[in-house]
Amino acid sequence: MGGYAALPTALGGCAIADRLARGAQAVQNAGMSDDAQRFDEALLAGATRWGMAITRDQLDRIRAHYLAMLEANRVMNLTRITDPVEAAVKHYLDAMAFLLWADRTHARLRTVLDVGTGAGLPAWPLAVMRPDWSVTAIDATRKKIAFLQKTIEMVGLSNLKAEHAHSQHWSDQRRFDAVLVRAVASLAKCIRQADRYVKPDGWLAAYKSETINQQEKENAEETAKELKFKPARPFRYELHLNDEVIRRSLQLYRSCLPPTDG
């Protein structure tokens, strides 16, 4: 697998490329790292609580992304969450809640789009856990996409593609079975960001806290109706971080347009 040494100068030159090369080495040495062990334990504990199995290869690939992100974060703003336990829970398990929903609802998905992926969340753990899905991740920040593209190359995650694009200006005409937004924007804004990429009869899912104020809900319902989406029952789940219980939800909307052949 290739490293980060050939990272383009768009990321800021040799200093960043060297840092990312050390990140690749950190991935290779993950088994000797205390941070890696704590990350593994937290991720496996959370998955077990949900009844979700993670293979050794899947765990290795998810951890590889975390360690690469941690190293790259020293020279670019990828995440404020760097502690291995907190990252395992708030980044990776949170992202994997969509898998839980898809499994419990028997959703038929083949193509997934992550809008505003940042460092690759939720796209990375979804692609690792579901190799039968074709996952595309877009972000408006070129540095973040360059990081993600090189990490994909390093780990060999063939069912994940990363593209530099703003959600409102992406020229790609594809539509996806599910479009995901994991951000702090209002629900109405999330719907507007993603609606053009959802297939007829497809799904739009926004990662949010469990509690959403009434005005935001009403605005989202108005926007969904305007754009021909029907609100579905939110999928609520819990994340356990040490003694803290974090209550989260997937706010779900389904396209009212009839499905087309293919």
12 found inside a domain: no
pLDDT greater at residue 31 or residue 168: 168
The answer to which of 19-23, 57-61, 118-122 has the lowest mean pLDDT is 19-23
Please name which of 240, 249, 247 lies closest in space to residue 42, comparing C-alpha atoms.
Answer: 240
Would you say 46 and 240 are in contact if contact means Cβ atoms under 8 Å apart? yes
**Does pLDDT of 259 surpass 90?**
no
Structure pTM? Answer: 0.88
For residue 30, the model assigns a pLDDT of 45
126 found inside a domain: yes
- Give tens-digit pLDDT for 80-94: 999 999 999 999 999
- Give tens-digit pLDDT for 157-206: 999 999 999 888 888 889 999 999 997 789 999 999 999 999 999 999 99
CATH number at residue 91: 3.40.50.150
**Does pLDDT of 245 surpass 60?**
yes
- Give tens-digit pLDDT for 145-157: 999 999 999 999 9
* b/e code 190-206 from CB counts within 10 Å (16+ = b): bbbbbbebbbeebbbbb
Q: Give, for 7, the enclosing helix (H) or strand (E).
A: none
Number of domains in the chain: 1
Query: Which residues 6+ apart lie within 8 Å of 32 measured at CB?
Result: none
For residue 10, the model assigns a pLDDT of 42
96 found inside a domain: yes
59 found inside a domain: no
Average pLDDT for residues 11-40, to the nearest whole number?
A: 62
- Give tens-digit pLDDT for 95-123: 999 999 999 999 999 999 999 999 999 99
The answer to which of 12-16, 46-50, 183-187, 194-198 has the lowest mean pLDDT is 12-16
Please report which confidence band the pLDDT of residue 242 belongs to, taking 50, 70 and 90 as the band edges.
very high
132 found inside a domain: yes
For residue 22, the model assigns a pLDDT of 58
- Give tens-digit pLDDT for 61-82: 999 999 999 999 999 999 999 9
For residue 25, the model assigns a pLDDT of 55
Average pLDDT for residues 22-33, to the nearest whole number?
A: 55
8 found inside a domain: no
Alpha carbons 130 and 53: distance in angstroms, whole number: 12
7 found inside a domain: no
Q: What is the span of the domain harbouring residue 136? A: 86-255
- Burial of residue 180, with CB atoms counted within 10 A of its CB: 0-12 exposed, 13-18 middle, 19 or more buried: buried
pLDDT greater at residue 20 or residue 183: 183
262 found inside a domain: no
